[in-house]
Structure 1
Amino acid sequence: MRAAIAIAASALLAACAAPRDRTPVVDRAALPPAYLTDNRLPADAQADALWWKGFGDPRLDAIVERALSGNLTIAAARDRLRGARAAVLAERSDRLPSIDGDVGVDGIGGITDRLSVRPAGGTGVLFNPDLNGRLSREIEAAAARAKASAYLLVDARRLVAAATVQQYVDLRRSEAQLTLLEESTDLQQQTLRIVELRFGAGLSANLDVRRAAADLAQTEAQRGILLLQRSQAARALSVLSGEVPQPLPPAAAEPSIPTFAGGPPAGVPADLLRRRPDLLVAEANLAEAAANVGVEQADLLPALALSGRLSIGDTFGLGLIDRVLGTVGAILDVPLFDGGRRRAEIAVARAEADARFADYRQTLLDALREVENALVGIDSFSGRSASLRDAIEQSESAFNQSNALYREGLTSLFDVLDAQRQLIGSRQSLIDSDAQIAFAIIDLYAAVGATTES
């Protein structure tokens, strides 16, 4: 009879499953058709190319590959993904019958009677047909969490690749500045020797010697800072690769900022919806929140649980199975009154879904801002570098002319030192500007979610 009631209840309640709460989506047509900055980066590589290879630096390629394979943040994200996928299997198992077995003995006897021991055992079965849809929504929520974990792994690779290339550019900038420091000190030492010769000949004052020596000392004072920056960048690269800080690697053969020759196209704003991993994480989080609304809504509906048990025993203690009993039951849990708790929990879940939709939209806006800023940065620093190269050319000419006039006594040392400072300053600014171009390119490809896998 109880089994019949369960079957009838299943038929009557099959249509009562909790509704699937709809996940809000961003209208792709609402996004701008193109970025505001009309930047034309070289795009010689394929769209799925590893973007940092556009720098054409085998040393960089090897460092990024080592970081992507050894980084501990990526390893942790990979482990969390494994756990999230196991959680999905655990949730799915709730849709299957649960079977447990037990084995024991019964003892019986009086004060004068000999104790009689009887073996007994049985098997219990519990099954939830998920009439209200709660289990299905819980599986959806777990699947969304697993999807978010998968995208978090991709996002970790995106961020580690960008951070690695940034630290490498910082390393190359320090190397280039150290090389420039050597060139600048050589130039200032030549000037100091000229001033000392003129002072020895009575053609210049001791003040000129002190000025030239002060400029040389000020330039040499930058060495320690540059060595520190180079050491910090090198050790950061080691940590990004999951290694203890390593000794400084050999300097690059060419002490300059790597030049970007080409990479995957930046695409259009709508591409962010499918390429940017942190945006996909936010989308998966939104899907989980929507599923959790369904979980809470299911509590408003009746729940049915089916149970059964098969018992085996020995009535006479003869070691023989002579008793087999079977029972089947069903429990129908119908919500009647809870003081409004269930509906309040639904309101909490819906509020969280709305909050995650706002997070999703904010992530999208931040991504658009990052891309635009990177494109503007590339244009701005490219123009600055072009102007600085012209300034260096003019400063070299001015320094050579003022130096020649000073030797002839036709100008003061102040003019020579001023031209020299302008030349050194322009060269230093050019290194920084070229590094900023590289940083903006790194920011661009990180912002558009360019691939980190071949």
Structure 2
Amino acid sequence: MSTSLRTRISSLRYAASALTLLLAGCVSGPDHVPPQMPLPANFEEGGKKSNGHVVTAEWWTAYRDKPLDGLVTHGLRENLDVLQALENINSASANVTIAGAGGLPSLTVGASHTLSGEKGRLRTTVGTTNTSGGEASLSWLLDFFGQYRRSRESAIASLGAAYATADNAKLTFLKDLVESYIDARYYQERIALSQANLKSRQQTYELTQLQLRAGAASRPDVVQAEGLVKSTKSEIPGLQQSFTESAHHIATLIGMPASSLMGELQKRAGQPVFRGDLRAGIPADLIRNRPDIRMAERELAAAVADIGAAEAQLYPSITLSGSISPSWVKSSGASGGSLTSWSFGPSLNLPIFDGGTLRANVEIEKSDAKAQYLAWKAAVLNGVEEVENALTAVRRDTQTLEPLRRQVQTAQESLALSTTSYKDGASSLLDILDAQRSVSDAQASLAATVQQVAKDYVDLYVAIGAGYLEPQHVAAKPTTKSG
């Protein structure tokens, strides 16, 4: 072989390799780059230490409430919204296969057998023919410009968005369940306070009746005391109804009939009080931990990939197709024979005039990608705002607890003094009634604030994206050898 021929062969080999690499890397449209935006180093009322991954933090256990822990564990497995979101992952996973299938070879195989003939007037079969055949067809669209590769990228990004949507459903469930539980225990507390106040006011009413008989009280005093008793009685049914509604909602959230849960919730328990650390992390943590932000980022990635899929349709497409059809024919009275037909060849599809439809599709996808980027930015800013608001609420509401507790103590002391003074005839019934109202109002304010502070912590930990994934406890078992 001459040197010139060797050189030409070598050049052809390099050219073929270069063409293969070029076609393999020729993908239309931009590649997705994780979006970024400037964020403050810390929250206004937070520290500068990162939280790291808090997605497995079981923050609700800081309430130290065993019934609540059980409800959360059961609900994460049985909540219908969570189960629906998890099921959507299966659909999104199947879409990944469908999206990439167009760029892979397609092979179909078929077979047939027919019996044919003619019938005369004497109903005898004439010229019966048996025909057996088969067919195999192969088609392969050469994805030179990456239409199906981009479509598969979009489907994979949508699958990631489906996972994030399921995580967000879990986080939404946690917020709804824990806050509903806090509400239920608040109404129980209010019912208990109202029943205690009713007992106190009933005693005052009975004392006033005795004073009336002794001539130390007037009829209007008795009427006032009786009116306060009836007013207190009228509060209790509304509070009981609110408790029942909260209990019913909890049962719905965890996928249970209300009747099977009501008995457990009706057992008296104190209001939940958060006894954990105040951990907010830094704004940058939200991009990693909040599922709604991750969902928005994945939807942006899908939109960017769709641009490439749309641009690829502007270019020619080449399809390789072929078929082979063997058949065997046997007629009555004759020996059988076989026949095989086949075909193979490429086909070219070149878009020329489409009225601007294909380019308009590209512009639509570009606009969708821009909109998704703005949606991602909005999700980040909304997350920062929610954490800032939750931090402020926790700090401000917590500061009111101790003064309210002191106010309750002071009102109770004032009521005791007023009652003793009234019995001695040194004060009027109005002083007792005012003192009782002060006690009732102070107790109701304290219970409402305890409820709100407990909810503030829920808002904070949901806002930072904590607790929607179950921790994986991997225990290393020791290996032993016998013998």
RMSD between superposed Cα atoms in Å: 2.5
1:144 aligns with 2:157: yes
For residue 69 of structure 2, the aligned residue among 48, 57, 61 is 61
1:132 aligns with 2:148: no
Matching residue of 1:36: 44
Matching residue of 2:36: 26
After superposition, the C-alpha distances for 1:303-330 in whole angstroms (9 at most, x for unaligned) are: 1111011111225657866333332111
Matching residue of 2:188: 175
Task: Spell out the pairing of 1:110-121 with structure 2 (5 A cutoff).
Answer: 114-121=127-134
1:305 aligns with 2:319: yes
For residue 443 of structure 2, the aligned residue among 407, 427, 449 is 427
Matching residue of 1:341: 357
Q: Contact 2:46–2:281 at 8 Å: present in 1 too? A: no
Per the TM alignment, residue 354 of structure 1 is displaced from its structure 2 partner at its CA by 1.1
Matching residue of 1:227: 240
Distance 1:429 1:17, change over 3 A: same
Distance in 2, Cα, partners of 1:72 & 1:391: 44
Per the TM alignment, residue 404 of structure 1 is displaced from its structure 2 partner at its CA by 2.0
Equivalent residue letter for 1:430:
L
SS at 1:383 equivalent: helix
Which runs of 5 or more structure 1 residues have no equivalent in the other structure?
A: 1-6
Distance 1:193 1:110, change over 3 A: closer
Distance in 2, Cα, partners of 1:168 & 1:157: 16
For residue 355 of structure 1, the aligned residue among 371, 376, 381 is 371
Matching residue of 2:343: 327
Equivalent residue letter for 2:36:
V
Distance in 2, Cα, partners of 1:239 & 1:372: 31
Per the TM alignment, residue 159 of structure 1 is displaced from its structure 2 partner at its CA by 0.9
Q: Which moved more, 1:356-365 or 1:418-427?
A: 356-365
1:436 aligns with 2:436: no
Paired residue total: 441
Matching residue of 2:4: none
Distance in 1, Cα, partners of 2:285 & 2:401: 31
Per the TM alignment, residue 252 of structure 1 is displaced from its structure 2 partner at its CA by 6.9
Distance 1:20 1:411, change over 3 A: same
Q: Which moved more, 1:293-302 or 1:13-22?
A: 13-22
Per the TM alignment, residue 250 of structure 1 is displaced from its structure 2 partner at its CA by 3.6
Per the TM alignment, residue 23 of structure 1 is displaced from its structure 2 partner at its CA by 4.5
Equivalent residue letter for 2:77:
S
1:381 aligns with 2:397: yes
Q: Contact 1:123–1:309 at 8 Å: present in 2 too? A: yes
Distance in 2, Cα, partners of 1:100 & 1:316: 26
SS at 1:262 equivalent: coil
Q: Contact 1:19–1:297 at 8 Å: present in 2 too? A: yes
Matching residue of 1:293: 307
After superposition, the C-alpha distances for 1:5-25 in whole angstroms (9 at most, x for unaligned) are: xx99x8686665313354561
Distance in 1, Cα, partners of 2:380 & 2:354: 40
Per the TM alignment, residue 90 of structure 1 is displaced from its structure 2 partner at its CA by 2.2
* Structure number, greater radius of gyration: 2
Matching residue of 1:204: 217
Equivalent residue letter for 1:245:
A
Task: Spell out the pairing of 1:73-112 with structure 2 (5 A cutoff).
Answer: 73-105=81-113
Equivalent residue letter for 1:304:
I
For residue 282 of structure 1, the aligned residue among 279, 296, 312 is 296
Q: Contact 1:196–1:209 at 8 Å: present in 2 too? A: yes
Q: Contact 1:48–1:264 at 8 Å: present in 2 too? A: no
Per the TM alignment, residue 123 of structure 1 is displaced from its structure 2 partner at its CA by 0.2
For residue 50 of structure 1, the aligned residue among 40, 54, 58 is 58
Distance in 1, Cα, partners of 2:344 & 2:337: 21
SS at 1:322 equivalent: strand
TM-score (norm 2): 0.85
1:368 aligns with 2:368: no
SS at 1:96 equivalent: coil
Per the TM alignment, residue 355 of structure 1 is displaced from its structure 2 partner at its CA by 1.2
SS at 1:304 equivalent: strand
Distance in 2, Cα, partners of 1:210 & 1:88: 76
